[in-house]
Every structure is written in C-alpha cells, then in structure tokens.
Structure 1
Amino acid sequence: MRIIAGQWRGLKLAEVGEGDAAAHLRPTSDRVRESLFNIIGNQGGVSPIVEARVLDLFAGTGALGLEALSRGAKHVTFVDDGVKSRALIRENIDKCRAIGATRLLRRDATDLGQNDGAPFDVIFLDPPYGKSLGEQALTSALNGGWIAPNALIVWEENSPQLPPAGYFLREHRKFGDTHITFAEPA
C-alpha cells in the first residue's frame, strides 16, 4: 500500500499484516484509490480535495485521508474505534510527517456526537461491508454537524448505496467487488 499521487507520491504505508480479525481491516486497494481520486479530480476546475477539510470515517489504515492530504487537503480527521486501526493510522501519519494537519478520534463512527469544530467538505466512508453501518454513520454525522452543506460524500461498500436525504447520487462506480458511491447535496 502506498500514496498514489501528490507531495508524498510513492511513499509506502504501514503494512496491515495479519492484523486483527476482529478489526475488519480491508484497506482500499491502490488501484481503487487511484481511480476514485481521478474521478474526484476530473470534474473540471479545481479538485474539491484542494484546501478541503476531510473526514475519514472507519479510517482503517488512514490511506484515503492521507491520499487526500498528499493531494492538497488542508486537514483530515480520522475516526476509528479499533486498536489495530488507530496504531496503523498513527504510524502512517508519522511516515507522512502530517501530525499538524491531522486529528485521530477514538470513536464509533455510527455514534459521533456533536462536532466541536468546523464541518467537513469531503467525507470518506469505508465501513465493514454489508452491515448498514455506513447509513448509521452518515446519519450521525449529519445530525452532529460534521458535514458541510456542500460536502462531497465518497462511500465504499460491496453494493451500490443510496445517499442520505438531502443528497443526490452524483456517480456510482464498480471495481471488482468494490462499489464507490459519490453523493452531493441536492
């Protein structure tokens, strides 16, 4: 696993290894990550990643958020409640020397509570597949003021997902058994 593009292009990230079976670690492959960032960046004009505040829910290894930082995001908040995941995210933040531009929250993504800061412009969501946790996390994020009114939602699952109320489906892509849903405010 590596950073695909931007200031840290080619940087090798921490290996998941055998990991923790209970952690449900399933990092987004380099190929899928490259494709999804190409889709985001090829919408004409400046990429919505540039200068964005990014929320990475079910962050796992932090690869999606760190890729966004590498490509010009201003800040990334990682949310994961797994011990193994948080250790990997910390290691990857250190590898990128990105401590000042990141925040790591030990929190259940389906129960975020109230946001104590500015809302986020881009939301990455990569829950364990097939458990409806993505819907719960988005509801929690919307209710807690985590999502900016014009935010882009990028949702990875094993099947196409419907965006939450107030958002419309911008695009859907399939990569093997991975489905990426892109949603924007209606």
Structure 2
Amino acid sequence: MDARNSEPYRPLSGEYAQALDYVHDGLQYKARGTGKIRLLCGVAQCHANLGDSTGANRALDLAQTEREQLGTTDSVEGLFGFSVAKQHYYAGSSLIWLAGGADAERAALEASKAIALWKHEPPASRSLDDEALAHVYQGTAYLQIGNLDSATAAIRPILDLPADRQISWIKKRLGRFAAMLRRDPYRGSSAAGDLFEEIRNLGGR
C-alpha cells in the first residue's frame, strides 16, 4: 500500500470472506497503539463488501469503543499511524458499498468528519489523496440517499483538482459515482447529466 494513499485494499470478488478470516486472525494478537482499531475497520470493510450492514456497523462501533479506551500510542506516528481522521475515512469508505439508507447517511457523516479533522491536522498526519477520496465517498453517500445537490458540492473540489492530482483511485471511485448518475432516481435529470459529462471529460484533461 502506498503510504501517500491509504485507500483500503478491495479484494477481488469472492475474496472478502477469506480477507475477513485474516483480519480476525490478526485481532488475536495484542499490540500497542491503534493497530486493533485499524483491524476492526478492516473487519468493517469486509462485512460491507459482503453486504452485511450489521457486521460492518458493529465493527465500526467496536473500533470507536477501542479508540475511547486507547491507552498507548503508535510506535510510528504520522502517515503510518491510524489517526481519528483516518478512522472516520475508513468508516465512510466501508459503508458506501452497502445498499444506502442509514448506512449511506452514516457514510456521509463519517466522511464529513474525516474531511473536517484533516483540515486541522499537521502536515505529517495528512494525506491529500485520502482527503480527496473522502470527498468522493461523501458524494457517493449523498447520491445513495437521493441528495444530488450535496453530492455535487462534495465532489466539486475534486473535479477542480489539476490533472496530476487525479490519481487512479480517484478516477475509479468517480467512475462509480458517474455510473450512479445514469441510474434511477437520476436518470433523465439534466443536472445529473451535466455532472456525468463533466466527470467523463476529466479523462481528457
């Protein structure tokens, strides 16, 4: 994983259950700092991609409890630590893979918290690529709950990024966002159509 971009790894289809086994194995071992919190967020990622809303939310709630009870610090700080902002980022990036509704509402909130926290963190703790992705996750969640205006506002800073900041993960996640604009309830919407074209034209920048 590139330390500049901690986009959680998404296994190929059918590998999520196996990934979940590995994460649970890791949870058996005690470690100082935020390691357990990171692993619990990995559990949430797996459950969400398996369509298990209850399991994903339970894991995120356990991660929050672990954060509140945290008594030791990470051996290595900065990008290799697991900050509160990154925890919210992982939560948002998990829940957008579920069906929407309350999960999407929580995903939008979690992504919003990550964005707000990163604005006030020292440079060593920030990843501009992760912050950009958090905007896309926030926008995706808003699309899932039917709020096109908020979704558009969420991704606007990303659409305005220079071409060299449009990393592959951003393009992939914007691709999913754009595909959602072509489906109900946005099918036939002129605003959704304009946004779709703007995203599609990013490839020519």
* TM-score (normalised: structure 1): 0.30
Higher strand share: 1
Higher helix share: 2
